[in-house]
Amino acid sequence: MRLLARSRGLAAGPGARHLSARKRPRKGSKAWLDRHVNDGFVKAAQKQGWRSRAAFKLLEMHEKHGLLAPGATIVELGCAPGGWTQVAASKLGPGGLVVGIDLLEVAALSGGNSRIIQGDFTEAEAQEKLRGLLAGREVDLVLSDMAPNTTGDKFGDHARSLDLVYEVLEFAAPLFAQRKDRGLEATVLAKYFQGRDEEELREFAKDHFTTVKNLKPKASRGESVERFLLCRGRTEAV
């Protein structure tokens, strides 16, 4: 996939996690702790055994868009702490496989349909490990809940988040290139922050996928500018 010209080096590493582009209380501060402790999705995640509240975002998007088909093969980029990986594994059944990749160490899940790679998904070592785990399986879905480390500069944070999505699309392209029609559409779901250049990202995605949508699940905090780009059905341009 040919990428649009963009500023390189903006993106944080793939281990960067769920941060809002808006200025927010520092983790460990009383304001952050109060919000975290009183968050309904945090409480529900703890009660139901999910590793993070983000699990509910993927659950909702799956329920509305049928993302996690039984028997599918999924690659998740930036998978720490493993909430999305848990959700995917719970929906795929014994014939499916989800492989998570992150710079951070992520504890393995129980069950035999998930694997974890510690590494940088843009580097050859992690990609070689992925090929070994896939063992010829065709990838149906690439997930990314990655976000850059935020700085308080809204446009800079927005630009870095888009750069991550382009990296995800570039990563997905060769995985989809040799894919045969198995009744499942090649799909990418990736997080970004709203901003002035998001329409350029959508137009780029429309050149490579037949369906492109923007999603904001209810589990995303109301003040958050995070959105999810859903791309389905690769075109010959991919």
Hey, which bits of 49-113 come out as E strands? 73-77, 97-102
In 3D space, the residue among 215, 211, 210, 237 whose CA is nearest the CA of residue 226 turns out to be 215
Q: In what order do the strands lie in the sheet with 209-215?
A: 114-118, 97-102, 73-77, 141-144, 187-193, 226-234, 209-215
Alpha-carbon span 91 to 111, nearest angstrom: 12
Q: Is 191 a catalytic residue?
A: yes
Phi, psi of 222 (to 5 degrees): -55, -40
User: At a CB cut-off of 8 Å and minimum separation 6, what does 150 contact?
Assistant: 19, 20, 21, 157
Q: Give φ, ψ of 97 to 5 degrees.
A: -150, 130
Candidates 191, 206, 213, 218; catalytic one = 191
Say which DSSP state 153 is in.
-
**β-bridge partners, 187:** 141, 232
The residues annotated as belonging to the active site are: 191
